[in-house]
Structure 1
Amino acid sequence: MYISKIVFQVFILLGSSILGNKITQLFQLHVPGSMVGILLIFLLLETKIIRLEWLEAGANILITELILFFIPSAVGVIQYRQIMLDNGIRFGFVIFLSTVTVMICTGFLVEFVNKIGRGR
């Protein structure tokens, strides 16, 4: 019973991503379809059309196994070994800089949301 519940929840999440892709194609949006799918899930949760419990276990399984989704990327990098040897330092710098930028932006966003929350 528990496994079928998780499979159903994962299919709901997958369906929202597919629907987001279809919406992006239909309206020719310049936004990834998966982001539109996440927005759909958010709106459905906020309007209480679906409850968090209906997705929570499936989402937790996906987060737990997230590393498996990066294996194809790692294999792809290995295929282009010479490019990595030639440009590895540049790639490393860009990765470092983007990580720091995301961390700083996340910190500012958390502070902003906390201030709004305290203001209520």
Structure 2
Amino acid sequence: MKIVKSFVQIGYLYIILFIGNSIARLLHLPIPGSIIGLILLFLMLQFHLIKLEWIELGAGLLLSELLLFFIPSAIGIIDYDALFGIQGVKVILVISVSAFVVMLVTGYTAQWLERKKGDAA
């Protein structure tokens, strides 16, 4: 039953993603639809239009398998060996620094949310 619930919740997240993509396409916005969907999800959670319990399990499943989503893009980068020949060190440095910043911000945000969740209980 937990698996079915996870997939239903992932379906909710995809609906929000679809809405964000549709808004970006219809309004010809320079912002990716996934970012608009993320903002919509945040606003819906903040204004209690949807409950965290409705998406928490599915989002947790997606986050736990997040590394798998990077494999296709990493393999795609390998096809551009000319890019690495010209600016390989710069590209690797930018990727490393940005990955470190993302991990740092994610870690601090997760700790902050855990403390906030613990204070509310």
TM norm structure 2: 0.76
Aligned pairs for 1:26-65 (under 5 A) are 26-65=26-65
The root-mean-square deviation of aligned C-alpha atoms, in Å, is 2.7
Match of 1:67 in 2: 67
Match of 1:18 in 2: 18
Distance 1:23 1:56, change over 3 A: same
1:88 matched to 2:88? The reply is: yes
Structure 1 CA distance, aligned partners of 2:72 and 2:82?
18
Match of 2:76 in 1: 76
Deviating above 4 A after TM superposition, structure 1's stretches of 4 or more consecutive aligned residues are 96-104
1:31-67: CA deviation from partner (whole Å, max 9, x where unpaired): 1101111111111111212100110010000000001
Alignment size in residue pairs: 110
Aligned pairs for 1:101-112 (under 5 A) are none
5+ long unaligned stretches in structure 1: 111-120
Structure 1 CA distance, aligned partners of 2:18 and 2:55?
16
Percent identity between the two aligned chains:
42
> Aligned to 1:83, what secondary structure does the other structure show?
helix
1:8 matched to 2:8? The reply is: yes
Which of 1 and 2 has greater Rg? 1
Amino acid at match of 2:26: L
Match of 1:116 in 2: none
5+ long unaligned stretches in structure 2: 110-121
Structure 2 CA distance, aligned partners of 1:40 and 1:100?
27
Amino acid at match of 1:30: P
1:15-35: CA deviation from partner (whole Å, max 9, x where unpaired): 111110000111111111011
